[in-house]
C-alpha cells in the first residue's frame, strides 16, 4: 500500500473519473492511497459528506477499505457491483447505505443558445425552493462556483450550477426548472449549456442523480452521459 500525495499521483494511478473527481480533496486536508491497481481517496468535505471514494479490483479495494474506511460519519463511495463484491471479502460486516447514480461523459457538446452564466445568483434560491428543494447545491455554499440560467420574460425559469469541480472533472449540480415551465425542453437546454461549458474547461463532466429519477437520467443520457450505479457503505453495528 502506497501513499498518493498529489492530484497528479491519483491521475496516474486511476482513470476512473469518480476517483479523479475526489482527488480535489488533496488540497484541503484529504489523502489518497493505492494498493495494486486499487485507489482510495479520503475527502473530508465533498458534497456535504466525509467520503472515501474507492475504485479498482475488489481485493485491493477491500484492503483499502479495511485500512482507511472507519471513521465517524465517513461514507465509503464506490460502484454498487464492486461494493457487493468487496463487502463479501471483508472480515467485518458492512451495510449498504443508499444507492444512487453517477453519470459522466467526455468529449465536446454543442453550446445551446438562450442560456448563460449568471453574473449574480439572483432568483436561484427561490427557484430551487420551488422546483428542487432537496438540491445539494445552493448559492453561497462552499464549493458551489457559479450558476447558469434561462430567462423568459425577465424571470429565471431554469438553472444549474458548477459545483465541486476538480482539475479534470467538471461537476454539475442544482438543476431546477420552474414547475410552470416543464415539458418545454428547458431542463435539457440548461444541462447542455453547463455540460458543454464544463467539457470545454475540464474534458470530463459528471454529476450525481437519484437512481429513481428516470426523467432526469433520460435527459442526461440524451446528452451523452453514461450511468453508473453507485452506493455508500456503513459499518455494521
Query: In this structure, what are the phi and psi dihedrals at residue 142, rounded to the nearest 5 degrees?
Result: -60, 130
At 8-45, the pLDDT tens digits run 999 999 999 999 999 999 999 999 999 999 999 999 98
Task: Calculate Rg over the CA atoms of the chain.
Answer: 18
**Three-class secondary structure of residue 22 per DSSP:** helix
At 107-152, the pLDDT tens digits run 999 999 889 999 999 999 999 999 999 999 999 999 999 999 999 9
pLDDT band at 206 (very low <50, low <70, confident <90, very high): very high
Q: What percent of the chain has pLDDT over 90?
A: 90
CA–CA dist 148, 117 (Å, integer): 4
| Contact between residue 217 and residue 189 where contact means Cβ atoms under 8 Å apart | no
Query: In this model, does residue 48 exceed pLDDT 90?
Result: no
pLDDT band at 49 (very low <50, low <70, confident <90, very high): confident
| Contact between residue 182 and residue 157 where contact means Cβ atoms under 8 Å apart | no
* Per-residue pLDDT at 168: 96
The mean pLDDT value of the chain amounts to: 95
CA–CA dist 139, 62 (Å, integer): 38
How is 114-157 classified by DSSP, letter by letter? Answer: S-EE-SS-TTHHHHHHHH-TT-S--TT-TTEEEEEEEEETTEEE
Across the beta sheet with 144-152, the strand order is 2-4, 31-35, 38-46, 49-55, 74-79, 226-235, 94-106, 204-209, 170-177, 155-163, 144-152, 116-117
State how far Cα 179 lies from the chain centre. Answer: 25
pTM of the model: 0.94
Query: In this model, does residue 60 exceed pLDDT 80?
Result: yes
Amino acid at each position: 500500500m502506497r501513499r498518493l500525495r498529489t492530484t497528479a499521483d491519483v491521475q496516474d494511478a486511476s482513470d476512473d473519473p469518480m476517483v479523479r473527481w475526489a482527488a480535489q480533496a488533496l488540497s484541503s486536508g484529504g489523502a489518497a492511497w493505492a494498493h495494486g491497481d486499487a485507489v482510495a481517496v479520503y475527502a473530508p468535505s465533498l458534497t456535504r459528506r466525509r467520503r472515501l471514494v474507492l475504485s479498482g479490483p475488489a481485493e485491493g479495494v477491500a484492503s483499502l477499505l479495511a485500512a482507511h474506511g472507519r471513521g465517524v460519519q465517513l461514507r465509503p463511495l464506490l460502484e454498487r457491483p464492486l461494493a457487493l463484491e468487496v463487502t463479501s471479502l471483508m472480515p467485518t460486516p458492512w451495510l449498504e447505505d443508499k444507492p444512487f447514480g453517477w453519470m459522466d461523459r467526455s468529449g465536446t457538446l454543442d453550446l445551446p443558445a438562450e442560456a448563460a452564466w449568471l453574473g449574480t445568483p439572483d432568483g436561484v434560491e427561490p427557484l430551487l425552493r420551488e422546483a428542487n428543494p432537496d438540491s445539494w447545491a445552493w448559492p453561497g455554499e462552499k464549493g458551489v462556483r457559479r450558476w447558469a440560467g434561462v430567462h423568459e420574460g425577465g424571470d429565471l425559469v431554469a438553472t444549474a450550477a458548477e459545483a465541486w469541480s476538480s482539475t479534470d472533472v467538471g461537476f454539475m449540480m442544482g438543476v431546477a426548472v420552474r414547475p410552470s415551465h416543464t415539458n418545454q425542453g428547458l431542463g435539457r437546454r440548461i444541462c447542455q449549456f453547463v455540460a458543454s461549458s464544463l467539457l470545454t474547461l475540464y474534458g470530463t463532466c459528471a454529476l450525481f442523480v437519484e437512481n429513481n429519477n428516470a426523467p432526469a437520467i433520460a435527459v442526461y443520457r440524451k446528452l451523452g452521459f453514461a450511468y453508473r450505479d453507485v452506493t455508500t457503505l456503513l459499518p455494521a453495528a
